[in-house]
Amino acid sequence: MVATLTGIFGLEHLTLAEDVVQEALARALQTWPFYGIPKNPAAWIMRASRNLALDAVRREKVFRNKEPEIARLMDQENSTPGAAIFGDHEIADDRLRLMFVCSHPVIPAEAQVALALKTLCGFSVTEISRAFLANDAAIAKRLTRAKQRIREAGIQFEIPAGADLTGRFDGVLQTLYLLFNEGYKASSGDKLVREDICSEAIRLTTLLAEHPAGNQPRTHALLALMLLNAARLPARLDDGGNLLRLQEQDRTRWNQPMIARGMFHFALSAQGDDFTAYHLQAGVAVCHCAAKDYASTDWRQILSLYDRLAALDDSPIVALNRAVALAEVEGPRAGLEAVGAIYNRQSLESYYLLHSVLGEFESRLGRARSAAGHFRNALQLAEVNSEKAFLVRRIQTCEQEIPPANERVPVGQEKVPMDVLNAPARSSYL
């Protein structure tokens, strides 16, 4: 609705579009309990939003400039009483246009994603600030400045072509990627998984892949990555909401139709010469979905993919994921050495999964006391309740395995349990 109204009234009225949709929703909450839910709730809300926007635009004395488009919409509504005043294709185009507006090069890079999450995905300022590990005031300033730049630059509400499209396309994909990440592993709150956000990211990426401007191999690679990982969501938590590691998951609960759809888009991503980090991460997801059980996972292939990914992206999080894959191939000692060699490792010190990974490696080597210390560090940094509960259980297990002070485990005879961490990172997926 925000995208459609912005297309009608102009980008200079983006804030107005957000305000009137919110006001219309508030009015629905106030009136529907007394008068009943209308037959077409979407049309009711859209009509109320449009009327509120019309009142505001008239007051600004620019109604004449927008009158032809508004008249067209009113005629459309009158010709089909009771129907919504916008069609599916129209919404699709408006959403795509607004996605590219949010990724315009005149908007600072750090504000592009925040603006898209706020405008397209309905995130509150507080939700965005948690995702960015920033405060509400900083995010509010980013959004205000981004909208100001849109007004000052006179950005058009359109999908660009040629070089202009190329310059914005990666920003659009990055926004969708981060949106899915937030749903796959929430940055804070009671729920580790927010399936509604994952579904929204998949829907918008599908929309992009179906549009001529977005029908590119990298789009299909990103969509495959989302689908293949989302297919595993039903098995990531038990009935009590507790986190389940990969080897603990019931693979019969994985969504097979979604896996098939992901494989289809993965095949489409192989067309042409385009090769991106999304291709490699989707390849990792393919390895997991193709394995009938945990023991048959092709970890050597996964490690090879991470080697190639590290060559494209020197992110310390990619290096951490590679260390976990390496530990599966060569053992936990090799994993520890790889973590120790991570470039710019200090940037991960506030990242709870670094300490959780170290705890798992130490646990597999039978060093329960050291493992418990790493898990305690991770617990102090974790934000999601299910992750905290998981870490508490790991600490308790380690404490039970700590030998008495007068007992020492001979070197080379350490206990090596079969469990291993397989929690997804914020920017890639094991």
Q: Give residue-wise pLDDT tens across range 254-295.
A: 999 999 999 999 999 999 888 999 999 999 999 999 999 999
Residue in this structure with the two tokens 């660009």, named with its chain if needed: 160
Measure the CA–CA gap between 136 and 81, rounded to whole angstroms.
43
**CATH number of the structural domain spanning residue 392:** 1.25.40
Measure the CA–CA gap between 15 and 9, rounded to whole angstroms.
11
Kindly give, in sequence order, each residue whose CB lies less than 8 Å from that of residue 94, ignoring residues fewer than 6 positions away. Answer: 3, 4, 6, 7
pLDDT at position 421, please? 37
Kindly give, in sequence order, each residue whose CB lies less than 8 Å from that of residue 162, ignoring residues fewer than 6 positions away. Answer: none
Number of domains in the chain: 2
Measure the CA–CA gap between 305 and 282, rounded to whole angstroms.
10
Alpha carbon 204 to its chain centroid, in Å, reads 12
Please indicate, yes or no, if residue 26 is contained in any of the structural domains: yes
Contact 192, 185 (CB under 8 A): yes
Domain ranges, residue 57: 1-86
Q: Which of 86, 103, 127 is the last residue of a domain?
A: 86
Please indicate, yes or no, if residue 138 is contained in any of the structural domains: no
- pLDDT-based confidence at 424, cuts 50/70/90? very low
3-class secondary structure, 51: helix
Tens digit of each residue's pLDDT (9 = 90 or more) over 227-257: 999 999 999 888 887 888 899 999 999 999 9
Q: What percent of the chain has pLDDT over 70?
A: 81
Please indicate, yes or no, if residue 23 is contained in any of the structural domains: yes
Cα atoms in the Cβ-side hemisphere of radius 13 Å centred on 341? 10
Q: Is 36 left (phi over 0), alpha (psi -120 to 50) or beta?
A: left
Please indicate, yes or no, if residue 53 is contained in any of the structural domains: yes
Q: Which of 86, 104, 128 is the last residue of a domain?
A: 86
SS3 per residue for 100-136 = HHHCCCCCCHHHHHHHHHHHCCCCCHHHHHHHCCCCH
pLDDT at position 130, please? 61
Give the end-to-end CA distance of the chain in Å, rounded to a whole number. 36
Q: What average pLDDT does the chain have?
A: 82
DSSP secondary structure letter of residue 424: P
Q: Which of 28, 62, 86 is the last residue of a domain?
A: 86
Mean pLDDT lowest for which of 1-10, 198-207, 234-243?
1-10
pLDDT at position 411, please? 45
Burial level of 401, CB count in 10 A (0-12/13-18/19+)? middle
**Could you tell me the two tokens for 418?**
């079969």
Q: Does the structure show a pLDDT above 90 at 336?
A: yes
Measure the CA–CA gap between 305 and 55, rounded to whole angstroms.
56
Q: Biggest alpha carbon distance in the chain?
A: 88
Q: Does the structure show a pLDDT above 70 at 68?
A: no
**Could you tell me the two tokens for 326?**
């390496």
pLDDT at position 132, please? 65
* Nearest Cα residue to 310 out of 201, 144, 418, 427: 427
- pLDDT-based confidence at 72, cuts 50/70/90? low
- pLDDT-based confidence at 59, cuts 50/70/90? low
Please indicate, yes or no, if residue 352 is contained in any of the structural domains: yes
Measure the CA–CA gap between 229 and 139, rounded to whole angstroms.
29
- pLDDT-based confidence at 63, cuts 50/70/90? low
Please indicate, yes or no, if residue 328 is contained in any of the structural domains: yes
Residue in this structure with the two tokens 């405060």, named with its chain if needed: 135
Residue 185's φ and ψ, nearest 5 degrees, are: -145, 95
* Nearest Cα residue to 276 out of 325, 199, 224, 232: 224
3-class secondary structure, 384: strand
Q: 145 to each of 109, 119, 148, how far by Cα in Å?
A: 12, 14, 5
DSSP secondary structure letter of residue 231: T
- pTM over the 0.75 mark: no
Q: What percent of the chain has pLDDT over 90?
A: 37
